Structure 1
Amino acid sequence: MAASETSTPVHPGWPVVGNTLEFARNPLAMFTRLSQQYERVVRISIGGRKQFVALRPEDVKYVFQENNRNYVRSPAFMILKRFLGEGLLTSDGDFWRRQRRLAQPAFHRQKLAILAQTMVEEAVGWVDELAESVEAKPGAPVNMSQSLMDVTMQIVCKTLFGTEYAAVSGAGHIKGLSHSLETLNYLANQMLLTPVKVPRSWPTPSNVRFRKASALVDNLIYGFIATRRQTGESRDDLLDMLLHAVDEETGAVMSDKQLRDECVTLFTAGHETTAVSMAWTLSLLATHPDIQARVQAEVREKLGTDRVPGADAFRSLTYTLQVIQESLRLYPPAWAMSRMALADDQLGPHRVPAGATVLVSPYVLHHDPRHWEQPDRFDPDRFAAGREKERHPYAYLPFGGGPRLCIGNQFALMEMQILLGLLLRDFTLQRPEKLPVPQPLITLRPKTPLHLVMQRNTNWFS
């Protein structure tokens, strides 16, 4: 006979609020404690809702892959829908499957190869600007968190919007777009953690800011779409690929609203998430000079002294990619994921009732000593060829898993390889005075901006 819901251990909490306060205070510490105290599944209560935390990779695989049609985006995603709309990150069911079919060709390897050279050119310009800054103020710490936000914004705008971006970038509109999306991200996180939900129609300061930021985003992106439709020109950017995508099963194309939602989703994911991941990677390399030296040796050998290397050269940066993969293990940007069960189900002996949320924490899976030896140690050799056989495939999921594996995962990894390779070819990163502390918002950010002293390797090109 199937086990009843009462057989699932319940993590003790406070009356009425349950575990909400513990979660809001330090969710990473809370999830880590759950992993240490419970074997497989534990029930918690956040914001008045029952949540089932899955702690084993085999159960995560079941939810994300084997029985994925029974699990949809949880109610928490309704907050993200307020500004992302029905993009790939937030939509479900047949609509999501159709959108995925339409968008997938834009991320095929040959399409990404076209975008890679744009990334290289933007990254070269970024490194040149850093060189000027370092030479003007030698020994002064550089705010790398902001610098990375700027360059990833440039890259996602250029690869997504192409020439339309170039036409408006000088007017400050793109920075306004970036700032507005940052505001929406921040407000969405506030709403996510607030137990009492205020109606959207109320003129609270947060709702007013939300509407203002949303309007700016919509005006700019709908403007890009309208301009492209009017010109009818073919371009080598993501907007063009999405605009001309045709569903092979139905012959349908994306509406302006669907294009807007996918563009906002891609902009948000391709900008902030990559910048945050790069900041963690640089902080790890600055505190591990031996690993930094290995990366420098590889990039100098593979990239040579060409100021603008060909994009294909970056595919040979295997150790550099291992460093990025290990950084994503230690600091996964998507530190928590959730799904809602459509029908009653079982995770091993534990019953998950319809309507309940299943929570998964990649951060906890990535730090679990049952799957990773010395899990808190920075060791890129964990990702050397063949080592993946040593662990369960769902013990590592920085980009999710199953059919909803992040569509832009190869785009992000390629961008990070290019940025890291060109940066470390020119610079040596010195240990920061203070290591960043993780702040789990919608993404896992450094709590304070990362400032690094950077030494230019001026003899490299001489």
Structure 2
Amino acid sequence: MTSLLLNLMRVTCNTNTLTALAVAGRYSFRSNSSSAQPSTSSSASVSPTATTKKSTNLFKQTKRQNSSATADAAEVTACPHFAFNTAESTSAVHHTAEWQNALPYHEIPGPKPIPILGNTWRMMPIIGQYTIGDVAKISSQLHEQYGQIVRFSGLIGRPDLLFIYDVDEIEKCYRNEGPTPFRPSMPSLVKYKGVVRKDFFGELGGVVGVHGEPWREFRSRVQKPVLQLSTIRRYLQPLEVVTNDFLERCESLLDANSELPDDFDNEIHKWSLECIGRVALDTRLGCLESNLSPDSEPQQIINAAKYALRNVATLELKAPYWRYFPTPLWTHYVKNMNFFVEVCMKYIKTATENLKLKGPCTNGEPSLLEKVILSQKDEKIATIMALDLILVGIDTISMAVCSMLYQLATRPEEQQKIHEELKRLMPDPRQPLTIQLLDQMHYLKAFIKEVFRMYSTVIGNGRTLQEDTVICGYQVPKGIQAVFPTIVTGNMEEYVSDAATFKPARWLKPSQGGIEGKLHPFASLPYGYGARMCLGRRFADLEMQILLSKLLRSYKLEYEHEPLEYAVTFMYAPEGPLKFKMTKY
């Protein structure tokens, strides 16, 4: 009861904040004017009397005119150069027959907010019906309860969230998004980059948590070297060396029963960081050393990444007091992010000095860091690129690998098929990997895709709509945050034949032993789609393929304990000790 009262007090105390946001929401920032222009706020979170007849009528009038201006104003205030155009759409959109015949936005089904508490109460302990930490389950529940499109409004301090489960509509949103897609960002990271450390980032926000022209400008500077196939090929051998070291360490960790330790997931994080450090910082960080202490720099980097990413849900979905004063959680978040910046600066400085000493690479392909530094003549761009790759990459790749290893260990028949494929391609397990060999590992790559489909590590993607759009027969105003729940759509029978069955062969061509059936190309998009597709996806694929091929060619993996449940920390992965039994063939 005490906990319940405290939560109610927290929400009640936030009504002053709601009033302030309501005032702020009366203005939208236009790109073609230096001054703010008045408009009517559409945010359900600033309308505690939304259930009354009067406010419902007001809601009907305003939803067609403006997006969630409250959120835009807060984000522009927090970080001005991340602003995007929230001016009203051209009337031409409204003159289309499709728009005129569509149902109004407020008729989209979804949980109904109550006065003052909105829908925030649904996330509260005891009285709430949704668990804030299990976003994957929330996504499934909303689809089961309300259908193909769901409006989740009345979240205190946040604009509406529009969950879309119709894959054809998701495809339409992606294909019509334009050259500078606006992805709903992590406001905590936006504030850190644009306010707390604007002294460092300035106008160079990077690619994570940045939108519009600033995002396009930065991405255009680093995209070519990051995605070049020649760059990817250069790192095959260095990453294979890292992986060989990791497998040797795994052998040293086995107990008398040939089982790996309870905290094996942390060892996977060490491997992931060592790989990313080799790519983004041009160095070996020493993560796989046998005598690594808990307070070592590599372990601190891992801990900082976990903390920064795994507290996003708490920072974003609960009452956002951190936007107005430094809460303990926010203070710790800033401390972790500052540590990241300092570490990246240190290694980039070392790499730059080494580059000056040895001069440009004349023998072989330059490293990623060398390409960025030489092409941009700006160490800060290389530093911010490395920061984004490390921050997002460590936990994402690690949790994906945890999921794949668990699926391999609990699906021996699939593991055997991959082992046979690898034996055929590499009769000698000590044979070095090549790009040509990786290209022929069809079943291994199909297995990875099927794990991503059924157990998508990144549970969803999203966009802030930049144009008024008709979705599932409803008028959706621009500025609304659309959520595309990959974890749900990838498991829907409408888009994937026999979706509940694990079938890697569905991803193979007929000539490779593939099977026929429905497989909508937009049902499972682990790396997103379009201009904002994951920048580091090719490195992520390379790292995972190297690890799985080296592991499964020489070792058998088993899991002999109670089944693990999947849960969301920041990523969707098995929750519990990964006590795999690892034996050599």
Query: Fold match, TM over 0.5?
Result: yes
Instruction: Tell me how far 1:45 sits from its aligned partner.
Output: 2.1
Partner of 2:555: 427
> 1:164 Cα deviation (Å)?
7.0
Of 65, 68, 77, 2:175 maps to 65
Matches within 5 A, 1:73-88: 73-74=183-184, 76-82=185-191, 86-88=205-207
Q: Give the conservation status (yes or no) of the 8 Å contact 1:184–1:214.
A: yes
**Higher mean Cα deviation, 382-391 or 280-289?**
382-391
| Cα shift readout 1:388-429 (whole Å, capped 9, x = no counterpart) | 984321111011112211122222112111101111122111
| Cα shift at 1:443 | 1.8
Secondary structure class of the residue paired with 2:323: coil
Instruction: Tell whether the 8 Å contact from 1:80 to 1:188 is kept in structure 2 after alignment.
Output: no
Contact 1:122 1:151 in 2 (8 A): yes
Conserved 8 A contact 1:72-1:341: yes
Q: Matched residues in 1 for 2:288 and 2:342: separation?
A: 13
Q: Which residue of 2 aligns with 1:191?
A: 315
CA shift in 2, pair 1:132/1:447, >3 Å:
closer
Counterpart of 1:10 (choices 106, 110, 113) is: 110
Q: Which of the pair has the greater relative contact order for Cα pairs under 8 Å at 6+ separation?
A: 1
- Counterpart Cα distance in 1 of 2:319 and 2:281: 38
TM-superposition CA deviations, 1:322-362 (whole Å, max 9, x none):
11111111121210223222343221421112332111111
**1:349 and 2:479 correspond:** no
RMSD: 2.7
Q: Look up the match of 1:454.
A: 582
What is the SS of the residue equivalent to 2:210? coil
Q: Would you say the 8 A contact 1:83–1:184 is kept in 2?
A: no
C-alpha contact 1:277 1:331 (8 A) present in aligned 2: no
Q: What secondary structure does 2:182 align onto?
A: strand
2:258 alignment partner in structure 1: 139
Q: Which blocks of at least 5 consecutive residues in structure 1 are unaligned? A: 246-252, 458-462
Candidates 488, 496, 499, aligned match of 1:372: 496
1:120 to 233, 240, 253: 240
TM-superposition CA deviations, 1:182-211 (whole Å, max 9, x none): 222233332123223323752x33233223
One-letter amino acid of the counterpart of residue 356, structure 1: I
Note if contact 2:274-2:286 (Cα within 8 Å) is conserved in structure 1: no
* CA distance in structure 1 between the partners assigned to 2:483 and 2:340 by the alignment: 30
The one-letter code sitting in structure 1 at the alignment partner of 2:568 is P
Q: Structure 2 CA distance, aligned partners of 1:444 and 1:167?
A: 24
The 5 A counterparts of 1:294-309 are 294-307=417-430, 309=432
In structure 2, relative to structure 1, the CA distance for the partners of 1:57 and 1:310 (3 Å cut) is same
Partner of 1:239: 369
One-letter identity of the residue aligned with 1:238: L
How far is the alpha carbon of 1:456 from its aligned partner? Answer: 2.1
* Deviation of 1:166 (Å): 6.3
Compute the displacement of 1:452 (Å). Answer: 1.1
Q: Distance in 1 between matches of 2:338 and 2:106?
A: 47
Runs of 4+ in structure 1 over 6 Å off? 166-171
> What is the distance in 2 between the residues matched to 1:316 and 1:185?
35
Amino acid at match of 2:160: K
Which residue number corresponds to residue 47 of structure 1? 155
- Which deviates further from its counterpart, 289-298 or 193-202? 193-202
> Paired residue for 2:82?
none
Select which of 252, 263, 270 maps to 1:150: 270
- Asked whether the equivalents of residues 149 and 272 of structure 1 are also in contact (C-alpha less than 8 Å), the reply is yes
> What is the CA-CA distance between 1:69 and the residue it aligns to?
5.3
Asked if 1:323 is matched to 2:453, the reply is: no
> What is the aligned residue count?
447
CA distance in 1 between partners of 2:406 and 2:508 (Å) = 21
Q: 1:322 to 1:424 in 2, by over 3 A?
A: same
Tell whether the 8 Å contact from 1:342 to 1:354 is kept in structure 2 after alignment. yes
The 2-side partners of 1:133 and 1:120 are apart by 20
Are 2:394 and 1:271 aligned? yes
Query: What residue is the counterpart of 2:81 in the other structure?
Result: none
1:31 and 2:139 matched: yes
Query: 2:84 matched to which residue of 1?
Result: none
**Counterpart AA for 2:271:** V
- Answer yes or no: is 1:105 the counterpart of 2:224: yes
| C-alpha distance after superposition, 1:9-57 (max 9, x if no partner) | 2334555231651261643223223333444322112623322111111
Q: Secondary structure at the match of 2:208?
A: coil
Measured at CA, do residues 208 and 92 of structure 1 come closer, stay the same or move farther in structure 2, by a change above 3 Å? closer
Q: Return the offset for 1:306.
A: 4.7
1:90, 1:241 → 2: CA distance?
24
Q: Which amino acid aligns with 1:205?
A: P
Uncovered stretches (5+) of structure 2, i.e. residues with no partner: 1-99, 124-129, 194-200
In structure 1, distance between residues paired with 2:142 and 2:541: 31
Structure exhibiting the larger radius of gyration computed from Cα positions: 2
Matched, 1:358 2:482: yes
Matched, 1:207 2:322: no
Q: Deviations over 1:275-329 (max 9, x none)?
A: 1111111111111111111111111221232525133222221111111111111
Q: TM-score, normalised by structure 2?
A: 0.70
Kindly provide the amino acid, as one letter, of the partner of residue 79 in structure 1. Answer: S
Alignment of 1:391 onto 2:500: no
Identify the range of structure 1 (280-289 vs 87-96) with the bigger mean alpha-carbon deviation: 87-96
Is 1:338–1:357's contact at 8 Å kept on the other side of the alignment? yes
